[in-house]
Amino acid sequence: MWYMQRYLRCRTPFRELARLLIAAILSAMVARAIVMIEPNLIGVAIAIAAAAAVYALAVRVLHPLPPSDIERLGMAVMTLPRPLQPVARAGLQLIWS
């Protein structure tokens, strides 16, 4: 962050970072709870899926990214292999529409 402010003369997006942190913490809490209830490989698999869903929902609700970043992500999707592009595009639309 120091580098961004000093050399790039960009403000540090603390509000956006805090929102992403909240989404990550919620996701981690869900994963931890599931693994504590089901401490085996199946529990880990369920925890990963549930944590991903909670993270996506939290990002959708909290809107941590500005529209310019979302546009960049959309452009980055075009660099993926063709079979993955529709899946990635649908994921972006699901989260940020």
Task: Render pLDDT for 1-38 as a digit per residue (tens, 0 to 9).
Answer: 677 777 778 888 889 999 999 999 999 999 999 999 99
Give me the residue label for tokens 């990963």: 48
Q: Where are the beta strands (DSSP E) in 1-96?
A: none
Tell me how far apart the alpha carbons of residues 38 and 34 are, in angstroms, rounded to a whole number: 6
Nearest residue to 61 (alpha-carbon basis) of 25, 95, 90, 18: 95
Mean confidence (pLDDT) of the chain: 90
Q: Are 2 and 11 in contact (CB under 8 A)?
A: no
Nearest residue to 46 (alpha-carbon basis) of 37, 57, 55, 59: 37
pTM score, whole prediction: 0.78
- pLDDT band of residue 95 (cuts 50, 70, 90) is confident
Mean pLDDT, range 38-61, rounded to an integer: 95
